[in-house]
Amino acid sequence: MNIAQVAPLYEAVPPPGYGGTERVVSWLTEELVRLGHKVTLFASGDSRSNAKLVAGCAKSLRTSPEVRDYLAPHILMLEQLRKRRREFDVVHFHTDYLHFSLFREWRLNHLTTLHGRLDLPDLVPVYDEFSDIPVVSISRAQRRPLPDANWIGNVYHGLPERSLRFHRAPGKYLAFIGRISPEKRPDRAIEIAVRSGMPLKIAAKVDRSDKDYFENTIKPLLNQPNIDFIGEIGDQQKGDFLGDAAACLAPVDWPEPFGLNMIEAMACGTPTIAFRHGSIPEVIEDGVSGVVVESIEEAVRAVDRVRSMSRAACRDTFEKRFTARRMANDYVMLYERLIEKTTPLRVTNINVPSEIEEESLLEGAA
């Protein structure tokens, strides 16, 4: 199959530090290449891939201070793709709704994975207007604000099976990894650590948009004993950071679309203590790969509970549900259905599995 993967240009593919969407695009692209498909990756010029790279800009936009208009490079990249669209059997977009109008009129097998939150009121008229555009969710919870979008499948993220080493013995600290922002609630993580008497290590990126929140809310909390702010880390440091922890904390306070940190911890054998929002109950199997809680008090009690959980069972859950191979195979199934057009693709009821939403697509099983 000749496949185009279209990534956002904000980060390189894969990103050197924090970056969710671009990291998933990288894992998917490399796995599709390993499966024998011909893949062209539309991404920033500093990306690294075994696929054929078409550069939408010289460097990722976040690392290019001279770029002030982030929309312009994306429009140029989409025009590159439009001119070459007949080369591909299927085009897989990861650029939200930016391309909807441009590619609606062309005869093209395409689908779009939506990676972000969808509970914003401004999105409703967009997806009402473009109700013919085939889209894929990354959790069933993500769909709830837009039940009438043209959902053709649900594919949970997956990462390469050998990318993070299994750590058999639990560590002696709690880990918070990802992004410093109000919805990720690092303040909750600090409170959980303080109240449970456990050290906390924070490996997190601070975006420009979250700088005031960090300076005014989080930074004053870092002066407490046993709170270690490491900052942003890359893939090379991530395995030991998560694997040497007793538990990963995901004290989110928003409709989490997926949560890569949870399956990264799972791959290391480290359970996650996570608040029940969005995708959390879908990703975390309570009592096996972590503990799902609804309050600070429950989270503090869960710190003792995770110490007795089987880290081998946690890793097994990752291998069964969240590998890149499983993710790629799920997407190939969707690509084939798009190309064949023999099975109705429209899926609107998120609670009832349809013919196309087989167990692997709904549950992330192998």
* Predicted confidence (pLDDT) per residue in 177-230, tens digit: 989 999 999 999 999 999 999 999 999 989 888 999 999 999 999 999 999 999
* Predicted confidence (pLDDT) per residue in 113-130, tens digit: 999 999 999 999 999 999
DSSP state of 183: T
Task: Give the residues across from 290 on adjacent strands.
Answer: 272, 286
| Three-state secondary-structure class, residue 16 | coil
- The Cα 117–Cα 366 span in angstroms is 26
| Full set of structural domains in the chain with CATH | 2-160+325-363 (3.40.50.2000), 174-321 (3.40.50.2000)
Residue 318 pLDDT > 90: yes
> What b-and-e string marks burial along 151-187, b requiring 16 or more CB atoms within 10 Å of the CB?
bbbbbbbbbeeeebebbeebbebbbbbbbbbeebbbb
DSSP calls for 74-101? HHHHHHHHHHHGGG-SEEEE-STTTTHH
Which structure tokens are listed for 267? 């791959």
Element (H, E) at 153: strand 151-154
User: pTM to 2 decimals?
Assistant: 0.90
Single-letter code of the amino acid located at 299: A
| Three-state secondary-structure class, residue 343 | coil
Query: Who wins on pLDDT, 346 or 38?
Result: 38
Q: Are strands 135-137 and 151-154 parallel, antiparallel or unpaired?
A: parallel
Phi, psi at 343, each rounded to 5°: -115, 130
Which structure tokens are listed for 74? 């994306």
Say how many residues make up the chain: 366
